[in-house]
Amino acid sequence: MKIGLYFGTFNPIHVGHLVIANYMADFTELDQVWMVVSPHNPLKEKATLLTDMHRLALVKVAIDDNSKLRASDIEFNLPKPSYTSTTLAYLKEKYPENEFALIMGEDNLRTLHKWKNHETILKNHKIYVYPRVLTTQEEAEVSDINAKIGNDFSQNANVIFCEDAPVMKVSATFVRNAIKDGKDVRYLLTEPVHKYIEEMHFYK
């Protein structure tokens, strides 16, 4: 089985995440997409970050009715900080029958050279890249990087660009701030996620 790994804090998971995950599961060679919830780094204090189990629960209720998507807590019990190369090695050993690929935005691809063991990752795993809507400031910041680095990785046979993937300019930060300000975010979240957040009074 070909499985795409979509890493994120998912704080909270929103429709932007789900559009990407569903696209990768339905419009690529991947059989399933595992949404890997990144654990809280104990060395970093983030008051706005929900506990690991609550963020995992939100992902589960968001994708409960989709057999092609799966919530994963695989990194919760691995050494911290979490390195993707370590996670991939662990998964390969635990599920030798599966083929694991990475799912990432093009902004992450530009900085892949900074990842631990990125050469090994690139050699042994396919990377499905979706376009990312950048702000004007971000476009200015990455223009040079894109020319120097992005083109190098883009020529790699294991890098697959999904240029027609629908991308929504929605961020978890925007959702959290909107909830804090008492705004209506029901259309930015699935109904079960919205209900869970409302009942637990998260982000207020």
Q: How would you classify residue 103: left for phi > 0, otherwise alpha for psi between -120 and 50, otherwise beta?
A: beta
Instruction: Let me know: does 168 contact 23? Beta carbons within 8 Å.
Output: no
What is the per-residue pLDDT for 148?
47
Q: Locate tokens 């998260």: which residue?
A: 202
On the question of a cis peptide bond just before residue 12, with omega within 30 degrees of 0, the verdict is yes
Q: Phi and psi (nearest 5°) for 5?
A: -105, 120
What is the per-residue pLDDT for 81?
84
The continuous run of DSSP H or E covering 101 comes out as: strand 99-105
How many other C-beta atoms can be found within 10 angstroms of the C-beta atom of residue 149?
17
Does domain 2-169 match CATH 3.30.230.10?
A: no
Structure tokens at 80: 């911290």
Smallest CA-to-CA distance from 24 within 61, 91, 58, 70 is with: 70
Q: Along the chain (204 residues), what's the average pLDDT of each consecutive run of 10 residues? A: 97 97 98 95 72 97 97 94 94 97 92 92 96 62 50 80 91 95 97 97 95
Instruction: Let me know: does 34 contact 88? Beta carbons within 8 Å.
Output: no
Segments in 34-129 forming alpha helices (H):
52-63, 84-94, 106-110, 118-124
Q: Locate tokens 């979240």: which residue?
A: 189
Work out whether strand 127-130 and strand 159-161 pair parallel, antiparallel, or are unpaired.
Answer: parallel
What is the per-residue pLDDT for 101?
98
Q: Locate tokens 């790994």: which residue?
A: 5
Smallest CA-to-CA distance from 37 within 63, 13, 19, 65 is with: 13
